[in-house]
Amino acid sequence: MMNSAVRIRGLRVVRGPLTVLDDFDLDIRTGSVTGLLGPSGSGKSTLMRAIVGVQKVAGGTVEVLGQPAGAKVLRDRVAYVTQAPSVYADLTIRQNLRYYARVLGAPASDVDRAIEQVDLGTHADHLVGRLSGGQESRVSLATALLGSPELLVLDEPTVGLDPVLRVQLWELFNRLAADGATLLVSSHVMDEAERCERLVLLRDGRLLADDTLAGLLARTGAADAEGAFLELVEKAEQEVSS
Ligand SMILES: Nc1ncnc2c1ncn2[C@@H]1O[C@H](COP(=O)(O)OP(=O)(O)OP(=O)(O)O)[C@@H](O)[C@H]1O
């Protein structure tokens, strides 16, 4: 039996007039990095919100680390970083992390470790309000590394970062997974797919694929993730119209 950190069955989410996810199933293996890829509006953030338990769901079940999503016991076992910065502009990086460490009950020694992990050591005493957008988003990411959570749900953590930093962050994600954590990382940049053990492709709230990159390329005959995605979109459209 697969050891799933996340198990979703028949999930249905309605937002306003729109059914964003319908009859959605997904398993995420413990200790893996799963890339959640899809165009803007495909439902990535909605799926992540359902997994961390902040999304009202209209049907189905979402189980996280063996508990219902959002259960109180998951509070310090699951970390979630949204696209909106969640850190205080008028505090330094270190002050922000000390504050979050206290809130989470994480050891004080986690603060410097998390700052180093996102490569902000030389800026630790700078005010967050004076950082670049990419640096600020890495401060948000650092807060998720406090307390060593078992599941990290990261909404577009590499957006706006230069290629070198992006590679470094994906290496960090893979190291965390090698140490046993489970990561779900969204992106709309298809070439980031190469860095994930598993790829979940979403389009219009539908699961286009849940496979390895090698599996996707073999199945579609495409040369890269972007090509595979386009192949699958075309195939899905043919199925709808026939
Ligand atoms: N509060 C809301 N009320 C109504 N519809 C919403 C709401 N939030 C999102 N939606 C709609 O739900 C759909 C999925 O949105 P979601 O944010 O999950 O997509 P996404 O793949 O994360 O996109 P992006 O990459 O742009 O963040 C979109 O069509 C969006 O317009």
Q: What is the pLDDT of residues 64-116, one digit of tens each?
A: 999 999 999 998 899 999 988 789 999 999 999 999 999 989 999 999 999 99
Task: For residue range 162-178, list pLDDT tens digits in order.
Answer: 888 888 889 899 999 99
Alpha helices in the chain (DSSP H): 44-52, 93-104, 109-117, 133-144, 163-178, 213-220, 225-241
Task: For residue range 187-207, list pLDDT tens digits in order.
Answer: 888 778 788 889 999 999 999
Please, what is the average pLDDT of the chain? 92
Given this model, what pLDDT does residue 2 score?
61
Q: Which atom of ligand 1 lies nearest, measured to the CA of 48? A: 18
Cβ < 6 Å from ligand 1: which residues?
15-16, 18, 20, 38, 40-46, 188
Q: What span, in angstroms and rounded, lies between the C-alpha atoms of 88 and 207? A: 36
CA-nearest residue, atom 5 of ligand 1: 15
Cα 156 to averaged position of ligand 1 atoms, centre (Å): 14
CA-nearest residue, atom 8 of ligand 1: 15
Q: Which atom of ligand 1 lies nearest, measured to the CA of 16? A: 4
The distance of Cα 60 from the centroid of its chain, to the nearest Å, equals: 21
Mutating to test ligand 1, I would choose from 15, 80, 188 the residue with most ligand atoms within 8 A of its C-beta, which is 15
Q: Tokens for 62, please give them.
A: 């979402």
CA-nearest residue, atom 7 of ligand 1: 15
Q: What span, in angstroms and rounded, lies between the C-alpha atoms of 217 and 223? A: 6
Strands 4-15 and 18-29 come out as antiparallel
pLDDT band at 236 (very low <50, low <70, confident <90, very high): confident
CB 154 within 8 A of CB 117: no
Q: What span, in angstroms and rounded, lies between the C-alpha atoms of 80 and 241? A: 38
CA-nearest residue, atom 13 of ligand 1: 41
Q: How many helices (H) and strands (E) does the chain have?
A: 7, 10
Q: Which of 143, 184, 136 is nearest to 160 (CA)?
A: 136
User: Who wins on pLDDT, 35 or 163?
Assistant: 35
Given this model, what pLDDT does residue 13 score?
97
pTM for this one? 0.92
Q: Which of 188, 217, 216 is nearest to 43 (CA)?
A: 188
